[in-house]
Structure 1
Amino acid sequence: MNNFIVHIVPITILIFMLITFFISGMEKIFDWKGNCTFLKTHFSGTFLSKMIPFSLMLLIILDVAITIGCLISGYQLILYGEKESTVYTFFICCITLLLMLIGQRVAKDYPGALTISCYFMVAIFGLYISSI
């Protein structure tokens, strides 16, 4: 129980990221066609429009990796106080969000980019707090 209290901040952020990326991944998997259609419209007129299926598959893989990373990291933090997998998980979260930010900026979706920036601030704080 002591590890839980000591690592309460990264554990809470891991739960936040777990919820965020798990739901995101499930939505992409179960509504592949709808997501492809939306993204093709969203990125029409950009160089990304031809890469939608590949980009969507990459995001699904990253969503699943982050979800698994959050579960493993939370387990290791609570039971052993180990932070290494937490650092890697938050780093992958940050890279994923940066990739999504690039897409939103290319599409000139500035409100969408702002939303991703909010998630990024949480992820970068998790990375910071886990790496000290």
Structure 2
Amino acid sequence: MDNFINNIVSITILLFLLITFLQSGIDKIIDWKGNLGWLKEHFAATFMGNMVPLLLTIVLIIEMITAVCCVIGIYYLIADDSTCYAVLAMFLACITLLMLLFGQRIAKDYQGALTITCYFVVAIFGLYVVSL
């Protein structure tokens, strides 16, 4: 119980990131065609327009890996007070969000980029907290 209390901030942020990336990954799996169609249109006028299926696959894979690392990170924080997976999960979350931010900026979707920035602030704060 002491490990849980000592790591409550990190665990809460990992839960937030887990929900964020697991839901996003599941949505991509369940509605692949819908997501692909929307993104092809979203990036049609950019240099990334022809790469959307590949990029969507990459984002899906890293989102799911991040979600798994969040679960493992929570487990190790509670069971062993070990931060290795928590750091990895939060770092992957930051990388994923930077990839998404890059895409939104290329597509000139500045409102979407702003939304991603809010998630990034949480992830980078989590990375800072767990790295102390």
| Pairwise TM-score range, normalised by the shorter structure | over 0.9
Secondary structure of 2:82's counterpart equals coil
- Name the CA distance, whole Å, in 1 between partners of 2:38 and 2:82: 40
- Name the CA distance, whole Å, in 1 between partners of 2:100 and 2:76: 28
Q: Displacement of 1:111 after TM fit?
A: 0.4
- Name the CA distance, whole Å, in 1 between partners of 2:30 and 2:48: 22
**Structure 1 residue ranges (4+ consecutive) displaced by more than 4 angstroms after TM superposition:** none
Residue correspondence of structure 1 range 1-132 to structure 2 within 5 A: 1-132=1-132
**Structure 2 portions without partners, runs of 5+:** none
Q: Displacement of 1:69 after TM fit?
A: 0.2
Secondary structure of 1:47's counterpart equals coil
- Alignment length (residue pairs): 132
TM-score norm. by structure 1 comes to 0.99
Q: Displacement of 1:63 after TM fit?
A: 1.1
- Residues 68-117 of structure 1: CA distance to partner in whole angstroms, max 9, x if unpaired? 00000000000110011111110010000000000000000000000000
TM-score norm. by structure 2 comes to 0.99
**Structure 1 portions without partners, runs of 5+:** none
